Amino acid sequence: MKDATKIIKVTTVADPASGAVNVPIQLSSTFNQPDFDQFGEFDYSRSGNPTRKAGEAAVAALEGGAHGFLFASGMAAIGSVLQIFSQGDHLLVSKFVYGGTFRLLEDVLSRFGITHTFVDPTDLSAIEAAIQPNTKAIYIETPSNPVLKVTDIAAVAQLAKAHGLLTIADNTFMSPLLQKPLALGADIVVHSATKFLAGHSDIIAGAAVTNDQALADRIYFMQNAFGATLGVTDNWLLLRGIKTLDVRMQRSSASAKALATWLAKQPAVTRVCYPGLPTDPGYPIQQKQALSGGAVLSFDVGSEANARIVAETCQLPEFSVSLGGAESILSYPPKMSHAEMSPEERAKTGITPGLLRYSVGLEDPSDLIADLAQALAKCK
């Protein structure tokens, strides 16, 4: 099946008891066991729930994976996956990762003896040179948040396999509709399902998918041990949101390309980060491994003062954290998604004082451009 068809089929699973085409919300924390010695599939909802099972199967199918796991947030998914490693293990991590992942690595996992080295994921020789005897995995995020750096997933996965390492890919910005890291060689894919998968800015959710049974067992152990699972009502809303993933991503991605193309021509804009533009350094790789440049872009207006003007003058996008909603969302990474990083650390990854991130929603792109035009006209 094509993805547009698969999206509908995996989220519309008829209930065998009633024939309902929507997955029932199983609001039960515990399940009766009819036999003293042999328990059924479900016993306690932290360990497994019929509604969550349907959601996990849907996300796995869309990523082309055999095993899916849903969590209470994207960071719960990332944290649980990274906790399959142990004291003394070392990770290589893209220096362009999301601020929450940066915080988890720097301030949490380091306390438990799981060390890391930040590397430029676009430089394979630099990645290889950073491998240590205790390195266990390479963690990438592509395109990255918020400067949209593109990592060659297949090349990194090939390098990882040559050294006996795992590849973990954050696919939040693309969604499985536009990019499938498992098919390119990644071992584990993670998502903030809050974003494009859910698509309506109404739930917090995370996901992890793998094809490897041994890895699935390790991820499930952490999911069950820590219990940061997705609640069943949010699971139902996630399934409902995924139903429109194809049409949302196609519309928002096309609009994002239109905005990026227009922004690149504006004198008040010093830089546009969007891998769907032929002038973007990541464009050739993005063309090879994804269907489009996606629905998120960032642009630099030269200074924090100008960023403030744009944020306070734009009338259509919500000025907020997060992305991937039906509504456009404008955010300021230095004070929002990457506030955990010092100014020096942000500078190393291209997060400049004038950088704004724009998640393009379902509004008419001509309206969004007109709104940006009146805001940029006020920049100094």
- Whether 170 is a known active-site residue: answer yes
**Residue given tokens 């991130």 in the structure block:** 357
Q: Catalytic annotation on 46?
A: yes
End-to-end alpha-carbon separation of the chain, Å?
A: 52
Supply 182's token pair: 């498992």
C-alpha 231/C-alpha 247 separation (Å) is: 26
Alpha helix segments (H runs only) across the chain: 3-11, 50-63, 74-82, 99-103, 124-129, 153-162, 175-178, 213-226, 232-242, 245-263, 283-289, 304-313, 343-348, 365-376
Side-chain-facing half-sphere of 221: CA atoms under 13 Å = 10
Instruction: Indicate which residue of 53, 136, 195, 251 is catalytic.
Output: 195
Catalytic: which of 52, 89, 139, 170?
170
Beta strands 296-300 and 355-359 are: antiparallel
Spatial neighbors of 46 by CB under 8 A, at least 6 apart, are: 224, 227, 229
The encoded tokens of residue 360 equal 């393009």
Could you confirm whether 195 is annotated as catalytic?
Answer: yes
Among the listed residues 52, 53, 89, 98, the single catalytic one is: 98
Q: Is 248 annotated as catalytic? A: no
Query: Cα(250)–Cα(269) distance, rounded to whole angstroms?
Result: 26
Which residue in 46, 103, 240, 271 is the catalytic one?
46
Query: What are the catalytic residues?
Result: 46, 98, 170, 195
